[in-house]
Amino acid sequence: MRIGKQDNPFTAICTSDAHSITVRGKDLCDELIGQMGFTEYFYFLLTGQKPSESQQFFIDAVLLSISEHGLVPSVQAARMTYAAAPDALQGAVAAGILGCGSVVLGSTEACGRFLISLVDQVKQGSGPAETVAIGGLRQLRSNKQAIPGFGHPQHSEGDPRAIRLLTLAKERGVAGDYIQMLYAVEQAIGEVLGKPLPINVSGAIPAVLLDIGFPVHALKGIPILARTASLIAHLNEEATRPIGFIMSGIAAQGIQYDGN
């Protein structure tokens, strides 16, 4: 049974034979290993092109900014899974990554697509950024959707990671249409919601990445890749200083049974 399109049986990423491995048209051993850093290689895998200096700098910056933020749900899930199955590091990492959704980590992609839709409206002549931002926010509100990329339960006065990334973008001259729209949305939030919400790191990351030409379909991959590094660090610590069962015990103590 045929499911979906099956008329383009090709890949441009990798092939191999008995003597060589070719990645994006380059010999892995002779042209890539020892000549590229991992961030450069990651972008090369995605696009087939080496990143510019600015692209490499900001991909490094955003990966670093989103990888670690303490005992967040993905980390807790990974550490408790590892406590129960210390022979399955891969399962514990997967447990943490599976929590990448619309609330945690996945909002980077949602904000990016929101910004793209608003910038496209401006380019099509729907009005200036400020007007389009208000319209976009009102549409989210009418659909009872959260505003991706804004607000933070801890950093209520401003996410320091977002502030740093946006400052770097301005200093290095890469701030463009998407960062401009991000600021327009921030200004419009007060009018639409009646209260301000700060830009969080999941708002700054897609705005910066889109302004440097990063592919939109891979936006969600940035927090996944970054958090994988962090999860491995937590699981390495879990192996020698375990707290997974401690967290499980605290949860059991903190939640009361009510019979419903």
| 189 neighbors 30 (Cβ within 8 angstroms) | no
Residue 119 lies in a domain: yes
**In the sheet where 21-23 sits, what is the strand order?**
14-16, 21-23, 26-27
Residue 137 lies in a domain: yes
Residue 52 lies in a domain: no
The pLDDT, as a whole number, for residue 30 is 97
Residue 7 lies in a domain: no
Residue 139 lies in a domain: yes
Residue 67 lies in a domain: no
Threshold 0.85, pTM exceeds: yes
CATH number for 123: 1.10.230.10
| 36 neighbors 16 (Cβ within 8 angstroms) | no
Residue 151 lies in a domain: yes
| 65 neighbors 161 (Cβ within 8 angstroms) | yes
Residue 191 lies in a domain: yes
Q: What residue type is assigned to position 82 of the chain?
A: Y
Residue 27 φ then ψ, to 5°: -70, 120
Q: Which domain holds residue 155?
A: 107-218
Q: What is the C-alpha to C-alpha distance for residues 260 and 255, in angstroms, rounded to an integer?
A: 13
Q: What is the C-alpha to C-alpha distance for residues 176 and 110, in angstroms, rounded to an integer?
A: 19
pLDDT lower than 50: segments of the chain? none
The pLDDT, as a whole number, for residue 41 is 98
**Mean pLDDT across the chain, nearest whole number?**
94
Give the tens place of pLDDT for each residue, 59-103. 999 999 999 988 989 999 999 999 999 999 999 999 999 988 777
The pLDDT, as a whole number, for residue 100 is 80
* Number of structural domains in the chain: 1
Q: Which two tokens stand for residue 258?
A: 């009510």
Give the tens place of pLDDT for each residue, 155-177. 778 899 999 999 999 999 999 99
Query: 136-140 long-range CB contacts below 8 Å, 24 or more apart?
Result: 136/185, 137/185, 137/188, 137/189, 137/192, 137/193, 138/192, 140/114
The pLDDT, as a whole number, for residue 102 is 75
